[in-house]
Amino acid sequence: MKKYLLIFATLIVAVLVSAPASFAQGVSRNDPSVVPDAELEKDSLHNLTVARHYFKLKKAYVAALKRCEEIDSANPNFTKMDEVLYIAGMSSLRLADSKGKQKSAKSADELRLDARVYLSRLVRGYANSSFAKDAEVELKALGGPIEPDSGRQ
């Protein structure tokens, strides 16, 4: 009996020692069971609110684009990423057409390519979004969506 108890205790210790290594593997970014970080969501929502204001009311497309890029890099699992991608894509497109109160350091061709990348991500990743139809219309005018393996993702 002592032999079985010793084997059982050894197995328990082995499982406890290896458990942290398995948790270090993490969870997939697109896993729906992942609970978003409340502070990061709050910060991203604030940046989205400011980006909306810049985009819709101020016509400050460079500022809106910068806020969206900040959200995209800091919180890729943001619950409203479809709107972030839409604002980023449309801001890039309007800057390419020399609209708005600000000027971008990028060329019109670079801005159009950026717009295609953002809008393609929106259409591909959020097909049921309320922004997807507008994005598809703009993408057709830009030459269609960009595939993820085209080197710009």
List, in sequence order, the alpha helices (H) in the chain. Answer: 2-23, 38-53, 61-74, 81-96, 108-125, 132-142
pTM of the model: 0.74
How many CA atoms lie less than 13 Å away from 152 in the CB half-sphere? 16
CATH number at residue 112: 1.25.40.10
Cα gap 70→120, rounded to integer Å: 19
What would the pLDDT profile of 4-22 be if each residue is shown by its tens digit? 666 766 666 666 666 555 4
Based on the number of CB atoms within 10 Å of its own CB, is 109 exposed (0-12), middle (13-18) or buried (19 or more)? exposed
Does a structural domain hold residue 5?
A: no
104 within a domain of the structure (yes/no)? yes
134 is a domain residue:
yes
Domain that holds residue 80: 60-145
Residue 107 lies in a domain: yes
Tens of pLDDT, residues 21-56: 544 444 445 555 566 789 999 999 999 999 999 999
Cα gap 15→124, rounded to integer Å: 41
In a domain, 138, yes or no: yes
Residue 126 lies in a domain: yes
In a domain, 44, yes or no: no
Whether 118 is covered by a domain: the verdict is yes
Q: Specify the number of domains making up the chain.
A: 1
